[in-house]
Chain A
Amino acid sequence: MATVTEVEAPPLAPGTDPKPPKKRGRLVPYWLLLPGLLWLVIFFALPMIYQASTSVQTGSLEEGYKVTWHFATYWDALTEYWPQFLRSVSYAAAATALCLLLGYPLAYLIAFRAGRWRNLIMILVIAPFFTSFLIRTLAWKTILADSGPVVGALNTLHVLDVTSWLGWTAGDRVLATPLAVVCGLTYNFLPFMILPLYTSLERIDGRLHEAAGDLYARPWTTFRKVTFPLSMPGVVSGTLLTFIPAAGDYVNAELLGSTDTRMIGNVIQTQFLRILDYPTAAALSFILMAAILLMVTVYIRRSGTEDLV
């Protein structure tokens, strides 16, 4: 019996305290969760509740706002600002599509062809983050300046005639047009597309390409039937990481656009900071959030990926 009791002493799992586990030891994981939870409560949950209550208040700046469960604010905000909602979604969608078109080949190149240049290209992709978002966006003002080389070249090639006809640009200008805003959004969110795409592509076993080739798939068929389907998690998370912030963005429309290219972010910003109509601003924020949540849910359901990234 003595040997049995000896054997029964539980083997110590690596990393656990050598003393028998006390109640305090078992609580350690929860203590470790605490800072993160506190952060979420203070900076996410509380502001949400505060915003939610603001959105159903009525009153004025002078008399103060009171919660009156005035849900009509939502309806009013939606009827007044639906064009900006629509514009936000279409600009964000256009920017996301452009990011995917530009980012996929680059991510593919880094993952499969870059060899020893891989790290350098990765650094170049992330490099823009070393300067501030504002400065980067302002730089595009210079790039797209009316007398700048880009506009000059586009003019000479008569590209602007086509884009003007499509309503993307106005006359000889690119700045202060939808095209400029979409360009800015694309540029600013491109790394958020490339990184998940790269992670997803890099994880694909090279032998699968060989196996597809061995089974009579030409390179393009191999891409369509093997590589692309296997990179779907990257495509889904990349498009989400691009679309969600782009839909709520206001900096690009502010700096590169005009009053005709105002996105919903600009409206919310104006309501909050200039008009000081807090209930409408809060209601708009919630509508945007709900709209994005709805679109994302439908999108993930449709794309059929089980895991993101």
Chain B
Amino acid sequence: MMTTETSGDVRLTGISKTYGSFTAVHPLDLTVPQGSFFALLGASGCGKTTTLRMIAGLEEPSSGTVHLGDQEVTHLPPYKRPVNTVFQSYALFPHLDIFENVAFGLRRRGVKSVKKQVDEMLDLVQLGEQARKKPHQLSGGQQQRVAVARALINHPKVLLLDEPLGALDLKLRRQMQLELKRIQTEVGITFVHVTHDQEEAMTMADTVAVMNGGRVEQLGSPTDLYENPQTTFVANFLGTSNLIEAEVDTRSGEDVVLKAGGGKLVLPRARCSAPARTGGKVLVGVRPEKISLTHADDAGAIPAGRNRITGKIAHSSFIGVSTQYVVDSAVCPEFEVYAQNIERDSRLVPGADVVLHWSPAHTFGLDAAQDIDAGVETAGEEAA
């Protein structure tokens, strides 16, 4: 995934963008290692597209610098940068056929014989048959592949993808995710992918930067972000988290013991991104699929040492592979639990009293005051 060579790295240093009094991107430092598949993930308006456009040269940064490898490109116009973009709506030239669309970049750089390269590229995206069609004669998925081919044929140092799959339906999107991943592995070019779809970012990217309000909230591998969210935003934006407000009771060795409602919860200190001072507040989080659900009558059978919370099932919905429960408990009114449908307990219906329990190792702690600077350990690891 990462090579020691840095000639293809994208380095953003203190880069920011303001429009009048509105700050779209706060000063940001980011390094995308060569050959990686990097995703900028966030809700619309979080600054991810602006960041991408500053790398492409379509937006002039208000401050900071952009480096591609050793070359500073901050003030270079887009046509002088060794990067290419796959635009959100593809932006294929409607008056040119597929062949000419793909050949556009080569021709602009004065390449005389483009036929062989274009044919090869069209084969790579499996569109060899469509070369003489106009873009509007192609389906959305095909147009998307043309847009990728048109950018990739130039062998850019970095390929920028601006929500490239946003216009496709779910099934096609899944298919294209795999396709793009395959192409990236095949050509080995750095991909920077902007998306608001957390599933897309997690399945495709090696490294994900979660952006919120013009800042990077957290950067890391998908597993890292999912298992060890550092902020409530990340915890909630990537999948679902149950967050419980708790008070630090005691600290014993590797663990922190917290009081929540009437009961006690154990949290490994290593998984707490907040300074756990005795008497201080901490947000305790746990993912819905880590939780087991046991009917209150069987509470005695729950192994010792697990975190427990009692509650009453408010809703349950059967979705095939799993059943999703919403449990009303004293510490959290809408506790979500996803239970695999292996052995279904027929007593677990809305209204039933239940005990929720999970391993302390699956618990994470977040600062109740939401200090974003906390927990640089995971992010630092990736950026190195």
Let me know if B56 and A214 touch, CB within 8 A.
yes
Residue B233, interface by CB 8 Å: no
Residues on the A chain within 8 Å of B83, using CB: 214
Enumerate B148-186 residues with CB–CB distance to A below 8 Å. Answer: 150-151, 154
- B residues less than 8 Å from A230 (CB atoms): 94-95
Choice from A207, A208, A217 contacting B108 with Cβ under 8 Å? A217
Which of A207, A215, A226 has the largest number of chain B CB atoms within 10 A?
A215
| 8 A Cβ contacts from B64-93 to A | 77-79, 83-85, 87-89, 91-93
Whether A218 lies near B79 (C-beta < 8 A) is yes
Contact B78 A213 (CB under 8 A): yes
Give A218 to B95 CA distance when docked, in angstroms.
19
Pick from A211, A213, A216, A218 the residue with the most CB of B within 10 Å. A211
Q: How far is the CA of A212 from the CA of B95 in the complex (A)?
A: 13
Decide yes or no whether A269 CB sits under 8 A from chain B. no
A205 to B84 CA separation, bound complex (whole angstroms): 18
B104 at interface (Cβ–Cβ under 8 A)? yes
In chain A, residues 198-247, which have Cβ atoms closer than 8 Å to a Cβ of chain B?
A: 205, 207-208, 210-218, 221, 225-226, 229-230
Residue-wise interface mask of A (253-269) relative to B, using a CB-CB cutoff of 8 A (1 in contact, 0 not): 00000000000000000
Q: For the complex, would chain A's binding face be called helix, strand, loop or mixed by DSSP majority?
A: helix
**B108 — nearest CB in chain A belongs to which residue?**
A216
Q: Across the interface, do A210 and B93 meet the contact criterion of CB distance under 8 Å?
A: no
A199 CB → nearest B CB, Å? 16
CB atoms of B154 and A213 under 8 A apart: no
Which of B57, B84, B89, B104 is in CB contact (< 8 Å) with A207? B89
> Is B360 interfacial (CB-CB < 8 Å)?
no
Q: Inside 8 A of B2's CB, which chain A residues have their CB?
A: none
Centre residue among A214, A226, A230 by max chain B CB count within 10 A: A214
Judging by beta carbons under 8 Å apart, are B79 and A210 in contact? no
Residues on B with beta carbons closer than 8 Å to the beta carbon of A229 = 95
Please name the residue on chain A nearest to B94 by beta carbon.
Answer: A230
Indicate whether A215 sits within 8 Å of B89 (C-beta atoms), given known contacts A210-B58, A210-B78: no
11 further A-B pairs in the complex, CB-CB below 8 A; given A214-B57, A225-B104: A207-B87, A207-B89, A208-B93, A208-B94, A210-B87, A210-B91, A212-B93, A214-B58, A215-B79, A215-B151, A230-B95
The 5 A-B residue pairs whose C-beta atoms are closest, nearest first, are A211-B91, A215-B105, A216-B108, A207-B91, A213-B78
7 A-B pairs in the complex with CB atoms less than 8 angstroms apart: A205-B89, A211-B87, A213-B79, A215-B105, A216-B79, A218-B79, A226-B95
